[in-house]
Structure 1
Amino acid sequence: MLGSLSSASAQEISAPVGNHSHLLGLGTAYVPDYAGAANSRLVPALFAEYQNEEGFFASTTRGLGKLTRHANWTSSIALSYRAGRPEHPALLYLSPTEALRGMDDISGSMTANLGASARLSDSVTLSSMASFDLKQEDNGNSLQLGISAAIWQSMHDQIELKTTLHYGDASYNQRYFGISTTQSLRSGLPAMASSAGWNRSLCSVAWTHVIDQNWSVRTLAGIQHMLNDAAESPLSKMSGNLLLISTVNYSF
């Protein structure tokens, strides 16, 4: 969960094509243990990214790839890593959680990501990102669609609203939100089959404050809502999760 939120924040402030740029970010985030979890925790938020004038980038959140600028839209292709979901994520969160007991570890895997974005106006942007699993077939594939709007902007500040919808194929949704018969016996939760469909949405507001040509601060607050089969899953203890992230960023 932290990875996805950090990725969203990093991509929104990443280097534009046409300039060599490095970007480092460090801060903290308040996120649920997993999508739909009842418990949330404070965890570190950090990322690093480089992008050159041709659009090639290396990023802890976007992976390795290339961003191409077209007449009024951009496209990207990247090789990235989708983090897994451990049954007992004690090392990740510094203290154990029993919410996923009996659900097995979900292994991390490499993904091929295809993205596109288009500016509808000076302030409104549409975006999409398809993620194809290259290693763990059972982990499935996903798609994100988003729309963002800069509602206020000054020389040093910008406030932006964004809504993102997340879609998973049958394998993805079953892996993350379904419960097999074996998992049901181990966890005590009722078995559930999950089909392809939209599984969650995220509505957020982000404030970016530019201190100078190198330093900036970005703070994002959002509400994540579970949808369809994901909302009905016994793993989804909350229909909505609060997400908060704030980072201090240095670009050079």
Structure 2
Amino acid sequence: MTYLDEAALRLTANARRTTALLAALGTIIALPQAASAQTAFTLPAPPFDLPMLPSPSGNWTVMVGIGGEYTPDFVGSKNGRFLPIPIFTIRRAGSIDQFRGPRDSASIALLDVGNFRAGPAFKYVSSRKSDRYAELTGLGDVKAAYELGGFVEYYPVDWLRLRSELRQGLGGHTGAVADVSADVIVPLIQRLTVSAGPRFTWKSTKATAPYFGVDAVQAAASGLPLYDARGGAHSVGFGSQISYRINPQWEVHAYVEYEKLLGDAADSPLVKLRGSSNQTTVGLGASYSFDFRIR
């Protein structure tokens, strides 16, 4: 083989290596471009559309009113007093007329879809003054509490309402409170409705201790034994209401609610020695409904 042939062979081999190298470089350069042209991962489509809260714009119906009820002096008391009770709810205008139970917090149904409603809820818990009642002597005051949270309610059938509330306390207590209720709603005659059903309340330790616990200072001042109140099942009960709709705007109602304290609330020396675990409330009220528009 001549030197010329060997040179030609080396040139051919070098050309092949150069071609392969250029091809590899071309592939590397092309990869980012291809990657930028499409996503790295293709996620499967969600099995269902996520519900979105409706816009607050539109027509709304507001229910406002006032009631009065004879209720225990404080939770766990065996004596009672008369108190005014405000009524306030908001719902979408044109939606199904909203049933309201006497234990319901003030609420706004931001989500109102057929037989399901949900939205924010608020409840005011009045202060407990130790100098007003002999049973509280030495226990100190408990400030007013503001419970903020939300509610959900569902109608599996037209005559049955299931409702649950979860609220967080601020002020007099800083615990969590959960209320669960069911109401069977029976129209007796036109405009006259009777409802009734069970109730259940759960409270955390921070929502229970300020009202039912007795610390060392309070024990010395009140004569009650030390007691470390913990949270848990707070009460079970039953309520009934009769309401009459005078016209599309005005409604009047009367109700009775019975509550049986449970757990550490019922075992508190304040309740056992000076009060009662049986709590009954009787009330009357009237409400007025009107529409307004949010643009």
What is the TM-score with the length of structure 2 in the denominator? 0.67
CA–CA distance in 2 between the matches of 1:78 and 1:151?
A: 26
Matching residue within 129, 133, 139 for 2:169? 133
Corresponding residue pairs, total: 222
Choose from 254, 270, 277 the match for 1:219: 254
- Aligned alpha-carbon RMSD (Å): 2.6
SS at match of 1:190: coil
Equivalent position to 1:204, from 234, 239, 243: 239
Determine which structure has more spread, i.e. the larger CA radius of gyration. 2
Q: Structure 1: how far apart are the matches of 2:109 and 2:88?
A: 16
Kindly report which structure 2 residues correspond to 1:229-244, keeping only aligned pairs within 5 A, or say none. Answer: 229-236=264-271, 237-244=275-282
Distance in structure 1 (CA, Å) of the matches to 2:142 and 2:261: 20
Report whether the alignment pairs 1:67 with 2:105: no
Query: CA offsets, 1:121-171, max 9 Å, x none?
Result: 2111211111113456x5311111111111444321110002211111112
Pairwise mapping of residues 1-252 of structure 1 onto structure 2 (< 5 A)? 20-49=60-89, 53=93, 62=105, 67-70=110-113, 72-78=115-121, 81-88=124-131, 96-134=132-170, 139-236=174-271, 237-252=275-290
| Displacement after TM superposition at 1:242 (Å) | 1.9
> Percent identity between the aligned chains?
21
Separation in structure 1 between the aligned mates of residue 186 and residue 92 of structure 2, nearest angstrom: 29
Distance 1:24 1:37, change over 3 A: same
Q: Which has the higher strand share?
A: 1
Q: Which runs of 4+ in 1 moved over 6 A?
A: none
Cα pair 1:203 1:222 within 8 Å, conserved: yes
Q: Residue type matched to 1:32 in 2? A: P
Separation (CA, whole Å) in 1 of partners of 2:94 and 2:147: 23
Moved more, 103-112 or 237-246: 103-112
Deviation per residue, 1:64-119 (Å, 9 max, x gap): 7553123542211246544332323xxxxxxx322212222222244331211111
What is the match of residue 3 of structure 1?
none
TM-score, normalization: structure 1? 0.77
Distance of aligned partners of 1:39 and 1:174 in 2 relative to their CA distance in 1, 3 Å threshold: same
| CA distance in 1 between partners of 2:142 and 2:64 (Å) | 29
Shift of 1:35: 1.4
Show structure 1 runs of 5+ residues with no match.
Answer: 1-17, 56-60, 89-95
Unaligned runs of 5+ in 2: 1-57, 96-103, 291-295
